[in-house]
Amino acid sequence: MNGPAIRTVLDSLNHGLYQSLADDKRAVLLGEDLLDPYGGAFKVSRGLSSAFPDQVLTTPISEAGVTGIAGGMALRGLRPVVEIMFGDFITLISDQVINHIAKFNDMYHGAATAPVVIRTPMGGRRGYGPTHSQSLEKFFLGVPGLTVLAPFNLFGNSPLGSPGQLLKDVILKAEVPVLFVENKLQYLLPLLSKANLDEYEVNTVWDDAGVPAPSYTLRLKSAPQATLTLAAYGYMAHLALGAMRKLAYEMEIFCELLVPTQLAPFELKEVFDSVRCTGRLLTVEEGTFSLGWGAEVVARTAEELGTNLKQAGRLAAREGVIPVAPDLELASLPGDEDIIARVREMVFHHG
């Protein structure tokens, strides 16, 4: 693909889609308003309908219908990718995913699979209001047979682990249905390479509980032993990385950051290993507080480590609708200063 340099997460995802469509004619992209010149609500699909007019299909406004059609395509051997314009609308595809697509493999003992990839942008901080700003992926994390991924903006200079490469691998190789969660603010973040992260030690482990997906552990080089483990994904991991740096350089509080890209099925060995050393765990997510990803991570860590887990906490969105007004919206969602304040509280006020 000849075109502009791949600098951002959006560029990387667009390139991953392009390569998928170019490499395998069975790959088909479906969704609302995908055709050029519009190229999708967040422009991740820009240029694709011009390059692959037979593989990019614009659809009526019916998320359930589009997802059901994609399930049928997958059963017939195609590699369909569904773009849901806003993550809030995945509520409309629940029946197709939970009661059908995710169940086919087990219902038919592997004789029929539906490897549908469902891409959708989640998250707030754009002023879109209560029904266009939510992070609803937690409602799909416990669905048997469904893999949930959330890319992180790491390693633009290497194909391994970049958001676009992860997306391409899922589209062309996964034999299970996948919900691929993208964050609206993450789209324009620069891809971080090893050069960008020169002050950090970065360890990458490939999860094998579902499709191959990287999990990262980041810590500052030559820093003292970390006293707290941060666990976050997607855009919240980006905020946590900044908070971790500020905590170290301004307050001499040292943390490790664990960033999974596979949210379900769970693979928490790296979290367990880190917390065995630090004794403290703080999870950060943009979805609402109750019954979420962080609660499950903390529960499983407590079960695994017992008394070796001295302290655990969770940060998440306020329970309630997300306001349109910028100040109120920011107050309802966890930010880097919230992470810093919670870490300070855990380290200084609880021993």
Asked if the structure places residue 281 within a domain, the reply is yes
Note whether residue 4 is domain-resident: no
pLDDT of res. 186: 94
Taking alpha carbons only, the member of 163, 258, 137, 268 closest to residue 209 is 268
Tell me the β-bridge partners of 69.
none
**b/e per residue, 113-134, with b = 16+ CB within 10 A?**
bbbbbbbbbbbbbeebbeebbb
Q: What is the pLDDT of residues 164-190, one digit of tens each?
A: 999 999 999 999 999 999 999 999 998
Same-domain pairing of 165 and 19: yes
pLDDT (0 to 100) of residue 350: 64
Q: Residue 159's domain is classified under what CATH number?
A: 3.40.50.970
Burial 27-55 (b: 16+ CB within 10 A, else e): bbbbbbebbeeebbbbebbbbbbeebeeb
Residue 331 belongs to a domain with what CATH number? Answer: 3.40.50.920
Residues (pLDDT < 50) of the chain are: 1, 156-159
Same domain (yes/no): 211, 182: no
Residue 208: predicted pLDDT: 72
> Are 59 and 98 within one domain?
yes
CA pair distance 104, 349, nearest whole angstrom: 50
> Of 123, 153, 188, which closes a domain?
188
Per annotation, catalytic residue among 132, 238, 349, 350? 132
List, in sequence order, every residue forming a beta bridge with 262; answer none if it has no partner.
Answer: 149
User: Catalytic residue at 132?
Assistant: yes
Residue 234 lies in a domain: yes
Q: Report the pLDDT value the prediction gives residue 28, as an integer from 0 to 100.
A: 98
Domain assignment present for residue 164? The answer is yes
| Domain end position, chosen among 168, 188, 208 | 188
Q: Is residue 160 part of a domain?
A: yes
How many domains does the structure of the chain reveal?
Answer: 2
Query: Do 168 and 214 have their domain in common?
Result: no
204, 183: one domain: no
Identity of the residue numbered 240: A
- State whether 227 and 114 are in the same domain: no
Do 183 and 300 fall into the same domain? no
Same domain? 216 vs 288: yes
Please, which residues bridge with residue 228 across strands?
255
What pLDDT digit, counting tens, does each position of 194-243 carry? Answer: 667 889 999 989 877 678 898 999 999 999 999 999 999 999 999 999 99
Flag whether 194 is in a domain: no
Same domain, 101 and 31: yes
Residue 26: inside a domain, yes or no? yes
Same domain membership, residue 88 and residue 44: yes
On whether residue 3 sits in a domain, the answer given is no
Are 138 and 71 within one domain? yes
Give residue 158's pLDDT. 47
Going by C-beta distance under 8 Å and a sequence separation of 6 or more, which residues neighbour residue 116? Answer: 67, 70, 71, 73, 74, 80, 81, 82, 101, 177, 178
Which of 188, 222, 238 marks a domain boundary? 188
CB 350, CB 281: distance < 8 Å: no
- Domain match, 155 and 209 both: no
What's the domain range around 208? 200-348
